[in-house]
Each structure stands twice: as structure tokens, then as C-alpha cells.
Amino acid sequence: MPEHTSPPTVRRPAPALPRLASGPLPILGAAVLWGTTGTAGSFAPDSAHPAAIGSAGLVLGGILLFLAGRGSTALVTGSDARTRRLLLLGAVAVAGYPLSFYPAVANAGVAVGTVITLGSAPVFSGLLAWCADRTRPTARWAAATVAAAVGCAVLVLGPDLTGTPTPVNALGVLLALVAGFSYSLYAIIAEKLIRRGHTSGAVMGSMFAGGGVLVLPVVLATGTAWLATVNGALVALHLALFTVFLAYWLFGHGLRHTPAATATTLSLAEPAVAAVLGVALVGERLPPVSWAGLVVLALGLAVLKVPAPRISPRR
């Protein structure tokens, strides 16, 4: 009898939706959660120090990430010296973010502090990736980052552009740049460790638990009485559960399939979420120029969010 051979299996390209769900969408979800930070922080008691607000959320959120991260303990105790050094550097960068971002906002204002921090982070990430891995940023990333950063600046600074501009605080600008560098540094380190095969939960849990330990003295030194109030406790819990634990769980999951430079650009969605929340919940009004900035920002993010088309080889 003649042998029957099965027809060759045709591999179909992976659909776009699963690729989005495994990369850009979790990071955009994290950005949505981060966008609630300013609204939540505004409900903190006046006695709460700016650096202590974010640090308190980091302490509790870091513990939750560590406990929920599969293999966190093994990563810290059983990894080689090089991995432990990267984890320590990542923890320092994690701790540096709230210690610089919240004082930057307090000195330079929410608009300027947010724009400089988030606008500089993708640039720092691209440069760090270039230096560490010799990976040159793509033209697509550069164009999307410029568009998103410009849109972010116009969106947030729109009221100042149409009214009387406020003087720029040099210390606030410097602290915002430090915050942007800190964010990009721990994103690059997390991406590198995850690409080596470590679980995203273990990497993020180890770094954020370490960062929480480093900022704990700040929380204690600036006073904890505000945490005993209803508003203070609710703000700290919101920051810990949503803007640290859940947000960075999503962010770490997204880093498994998305370069850190792209991830930090996608996080520019955060001020857009904050602006929409301000209009919807707080009753703020945005001038037309801010809405135009929102459109430009959305277009820039869309360029990165849609998977690049794959060109079939010519036969």
C-alpha cells in the first residue's frame, strides 16, 4: 500500500491581540493605575511629608510584591553575585523614585514635575539600553517618543501656556530629572533580569521589597501620625495596593515582551489618565490646547502599541 503523508503544517502568525495583551496592554494598564497617584495623594493630610507619602506606599506595596512573587526568596538567596548586585542597584533606583519625584512635585508643581519626570524617562531608558546592550533606538521608537513627550508636555502645561506662566523651580527640575533616571534605571534592570529567565514576579518583588526597606527610615523620620488618620491610611493603602503592587505586577509582566525603552514611553499615558480623572472627578477644566496635546500623546502611544508589520521574505 502506498504510504500516506500528512500535509505540512502551516504556521500561522500569532494574532495581534495576544501579542498586545502580553506586552503593551499590561504596561498601559500600569500607567492607568499610576495616573491615580496624584488624585489619591491630594487626599493625604497636610501633615504628611511629600516624600513620606510615596515611601509609605512603597514599603507596604514592596512587601506584597515580594510575598506574591513566585521565587522571590530563591532569587535573593540563591542567585550569583552579579545578579544580587543588579537587584541591589535596582532597589536603590526604586527607592530613589519616590524620594525625588514627590519633592519634585512639591517644589516645581504637579505639571512641571510630572512632565519632566515622565518625559525624561524614555530618553534615559534609550540611552541606558544603548550603553548596556549596544542596542540603538529604532526610528519608530524615537518618533513615537518625541510625539508622546510633546503631547504630554502640551497636555499638562496647557493651562500655563494659555495663562500666566509660573516661574520654574531649579531644584524641582533637578529632582524630577533624578526621578526620571531612577525610573528608567530600575526598568532597564528589571527587563535585563527577566530576559535572563527569572520570573517577573520575583524580580519586581525583590527590587521593590529592597526599595521599601531603604525608604522605611524616611517614613519613620518624617513622622507617622498622618498614617493613623482615616484619610492617611486610605491613601497609603491605595498607593500600596494599586499604584505599587498591582501596577508593578502588570509592568513586570509587560517587560517580559516589551523593551524597557518602549515601556517607559508607554507610561506617558499616566498624565493623560490623571487629566481625564481631574476633569471627570474633580471638576477641572482643560483648555483646547491641552486636549490637542492629549490627541498627539495618544497618537504617539498608538504607534508603539500596534505591532510592527512583518515583511515576508521574497522568494
Note the pLDDT tens digit of each residue in 57-87: 999 999 999 999 888 999 999 889 999 999 9
> What integer is the mean pLDDT of 117-127?
82
Q: Is the pLDDT of residue 3 over 60?
A: no
Q: How confident is the model at residue 278 (pLDDT cuts 50, 70, 90)?
A: low
Q: Is the pLDDT of residue 5 over 70?
A: no
Mean of all residue pLDDT scores within the chain: 80
What pLDDT was estimated at residue 7? 45
Q: How confident is the model at residue 2 (pLDDT cuts 50, 70, 90)?
A: very low
Rounded CA separation 62/84 (Å): 17
Q: Is the pLDDT of residue 167 over 90?
A: no
Note the pLDDT tens digit of each residue in 280-314: 765 667 677 777 877 777 777 777 655 554 444 44
Q: Is the pLDDT of residue 160 over 70?
A: no
Q: Is the pLDDT of residue 205 over 90?
A: yes
What pLDDT was estimated at residue 203? 95
What pLDDT was estimated at residue 147? 80
96-100, 134-138, 172-176 — which one is most confidently predicted on average?
Answer: 96-100
In 3D space, the residue among 245, 141, 247, 135 whose CA is nearest the CA of residue 188 turns out to be 135
What pLDDT was estimated at residue 17? 45
Tell me how far CA of residue 41 lies from CA of 111, 234, 257, 274, in angstroms.
15, 10, 31, 12
Q: What pTM, to 2 d.p., does this model score?
A: 0.79
What pLDDT was estimated at residue 168? 64
